[in-house]
Structure 1
Amino acid sequence: MYDRYYGFGDRPFQLTPDARFWFESKTHRTAMAYLGYGLSQGEGFIVITGDVGAGKTTLVGHLMRSIDPQRLHALRLVSTQVEGEDMLRLTAQQLGLATEGLAKAQLLDRIERTLRLHASEGRQTLLIVDEAQNLPLSALEELRMLSNFQNGGQSLLQIFLLGQPEFRERFETSQHLEQLRQRVIATHHLTPMEAEEIAPYIQHRLKLVGWQNNPSFTEDAWAALYRHSGGVPRRLNVLAGRVLLHGSVEGLSRIDGATVDLVAADQGEERAAAAEGAPQRRRAADAAPPTEAAPVRIVTAQDPALLDRIAELEERLDEQEAALRRVLGLLIDWVEREEPATQHYAR
């Protein structure tokens, strides 16, 4: 809705990660510097962690757009809780290898031969593993073993691990991961954006969709956006999108701090209502006959997962609305084309 009202060519704050909207905040610039250093070494592990919504996926998307595919063959896995041999099979599949019916030794042999082939073609191979906090010890150990493959003293595979803060804590403290820690050549934790980065971030995304300073933003609007989002990119995107939606409904050409506070308060009420409903749903579930369904989870007003779910539902509603508009447009065009013929036959 608001993109049409303000004349944007696209939605600037959609939640689906899009590398086009890459913004080099201080923490993301540091992460890219570590990645560049790690890739130049051509070996070992690179570890990047960050809270939910910190921009890890966007960072990977920007990296994928930046690399030269003729020199670097990048594979990407979004890990589920897979054990060691399954991790090998997923890696082999990303390399384009058939895995059905193969024993572990055969998998390792085919993976190594494929990596040697890439190296002979002058291409380095990078394996990107997302959601690393879900990986059991056996899977991490298999990744470490894969990093042992060498050709003339040169590593055949470099591995980039992304995870949430719990992976950082586990990685730094677990005695079982000591050998993996010794292979890490670069690590960085993505932090929220700083207050002075909010205005450049919002303006950057708006300019990419054709923003012509309509609506304009006051200085206290930037401060309010930072205060209510904490500088976390995904939370900021959700809030900014809702602010623009409110602005389009109210016909605003200027967004100030009071507007942002109002929208943030509405969001807080929605989260509080959802949190109040959770115990009622739990009592109803307790009273119902036992089933195989997962138990109801109690959420709080500050639950990041709930915020993400609300944002996802809002995005789906926008998509459904756009689809309905397209269907209605097609129906109108069809009726207008049929009317002259109907009038001709009536005569």
Structure 2
Amino acid sequence: MYTKFFDLSAKPFDLLPNPQFLYLSKGHRKALSYLQYGVQERAGFSLLTGEVGSGKTTILRDIINKISGEMSLAMVFNTQVDGHQLIALINDDFGLKTEGKDKVQLINELNDFLLGENAAGRQAIIIIDEAQNLSEEALEEIRLLSNLEADSFKLVQIILVGQPELKQIIARPSLRQLRQRISISCHLNPLNREEIEEYILHRLGTVGKRDCVTFEEGVFDGIFKFSGGIPRLINLICDFLMLSAFVEETRNVDRDMVQDAINELSFEDTQLDETEERGGAAAGKSVSPARRIFTGSSLDDRVARIEENYAKISAARAENEAIIERLSSQGSIIEYLINQQQKQYIKIEDQLKRISSQVERLRQAVLTDNRRVADPDIIKLESVVCKDNG
């Protein structure tokens, strides 16, 4: 709705994990490099963790887009499954038939498939997202898959992706063997204050111009304090701010807009407590912006609540846009009818002018004929002319 107003080719703060918008902060660049290295060197197990909305899926999609045709890929997103179901999901994504087969058959067929891919010169990769939801049984099945290897490299690369608690799960003594197999491990931290500013400008520049909107002093600080550096929350509030600026027909975003957006998205007044900040500074401690926003609930719960409220706001916005579109359509129809009536009026007016002109000519002709009848000299002259022509 606001893209045309800001001369943008698309929404810059969409929530979809689009690698087109991938911003490589120091942490994201490191994670991407590590994972690419693990795939290229056939390192076996790789682990990527990060908070909800930190950009894990966007990095994964970027890696997938760069995978060449010499690679086979299986991606698992549904991890609320047992070991048997997990193997079935992997086989199905590789294109293997799974119906009516027990776990032993599934594993044997998967092993045969991986051997065949290696013989054909193709590298097999398994990516498991939301891996923190896997049971220990399922994680153990994944570990056993890594036993299939050639003389100098693994036949399958496995990337486990999950929230920070995945590290705690893998640290359990019962999963010691799995932990020892992980050769690449990286964690995505939230963006810092400077990275947030660059992140926002990067996304604007990707679909238009970085300076299509002006952020007044204190705006980036407010966004940082609201989001805690989580990209998904940055997108949520920035999308809200762009819409607010559009509604007010301005290209400037100020602190009042940020505060309004925070109150709308957070269910509560989240203004900073300056007393808390001064107290922390006096004690030699820094107060985490993320802690100010997320105190009293887990980050997962907080993000979920904010996203739920954002969905409600988006639904209301979509409904309003639909009404506006219908009114606009009706307005277009009315404008069309008016234009048609105007054209018809002009046409009738031209016809009236032509008729009036003809009437005037006829009137002049009648007057001429009347003068001819009334004037004896004209009649005499006409007789002479007629004789001469005879």
TM-score, L = length of structure 2: 0.73
Whether the 8 Å CA contact 2:84–2:102 is kept in 1: the answer is no
Deviation at 1:92, TM superposition (A): 0.6
SS of structure 1 residue aligned to 2:218: helix
**Distance change >3 Å, CA 218–CA 86, structure 1 → 2:** same
Matches within 5 A, 1:336-347: none
When structure 1 is superposed on structure 2, of 132-141 and 255-264 the one drifting more is 255-264
**SS state of the match for residue 47, structure 1?**
strand
Q: Kindly indicate whether residue 29 of structure 2 is the aligned counterpart of residue 29 of structure 1.
A: yes
* Distance across 2 between alignment mates of 1:300 and 1:165: 12
CA drift of 1:43 comes to 3.4
Instruction: Name the structure 2 match of 1:190.
Output: 188
Distance 1:223 1:87 in 2: 44
* Residues 1-347 of structure 1 aligned to structure 2 (within 5 Å): 1-68=1-68, 70-172=69-171, 174-211=172-209, 213-268=211-266, 270-271=267-268, 303-322=302-321
Shift of 1:12: 1.0
**Native 8 Å contact 2:46 2:184 kept in 1:** yes
Distance 1:238 1:119 in 2: 44
Q: Is the 8 A contact 2:72 2:94 kept in 1?
A: no
Q: Which residue identity is paired with 2:184?
A: A
* Amino-acid identity (%): 33
Which range is displaced more, 36-45 or 177-186?
36-45
TM-score by length of 1: 0.82
Kindly name which structure, 1 or 2, has the bigger radius of gyration based on alpha carbons: 2
Q: 1:5 to 1:95 in 2, by over 3 A?
A: same
Q: How far apart, in 1, do the equivalents of 2:23 and 2:197 lie?
A: 12
**Distance change (3 Å), C-alpha of 1:320 and 1:106:** farther
Distance in 1, matches of 2:7 and 2:88, equals 48
> In structure 2, what is the Cα distance between the partners aligned to 1:97 and 1:327?
48
User: What CA distance in whole angstroms lies between the structure 2 residues aligned with 1:267 and 1:315?
Assistant: 11
Q: CA deviation at 1:332?
A: 6.3
Cα distance between partner residues in 1 of 2:167 and 2:144: 20
Whether the 8 Å CA contact 2:265–2:309 is kept in 1: the answer is no
Aligned partner of residue 138 in structure 2, secondary structure:
helix
CA distance, structure 2, for counterparts of residue 336 and residue 256 of structure 1: 38
**C-alpha distance in 1, partners of 2:252/2:132?**
43
Q: CA deviation at 1:333?
A: 6.4
- SS at structure 1 position matched to 2:23: coil
What's the secondary structure of 1:76's corresponding residue? Answer: strand
Once the two structures are TM-superposed, the CA of residue 218 in structure 1 deviates from its matched residue by 2.8
Deviations 1:233-281 (A, max 9, x none): 011111111112221222222223343234323433x3479xxxxxxxx
Cα distance between partner residues in 2 of 1:256 and 1:30 = 34
| Whole-Å separation in 1 of the counterparts to 2:334 and 2:97 | 53
- For residues 267-325 of structure 1, give each alpha carbon's deviation from its aligned partner in whole angstroms, at most 9, with x where no partner exists: 33x3479xxxxxxxxxxxxxxxxxxxxxxxx9799722101222233344445555555
Any gaps of 5 or more consecutive residues in structure 1?
274-297
Shift of 1:24: 0.5
> Which amino acid letter does the alignment assign opposite residue 45 of structure 1?
F
* Larger RCO, structure (CA 8 Å, separation 6 or more): 1
Task: Check conservation: 1:216, 1:254, Cα contact below 8 A.
Answer: yes
Quote the offset at 1:167 in angstroms. 1.2
Deviation at 1:27, TM superposition (A): 1.1
Q: CA RMSD in A?
A: 2.9
Gaps of 5+ in 2: 271-295, 345-390
CA distance in 1, matches of 2:195, 2:210: 20
Q: How much does 1:57 deviate?
A: 1.1
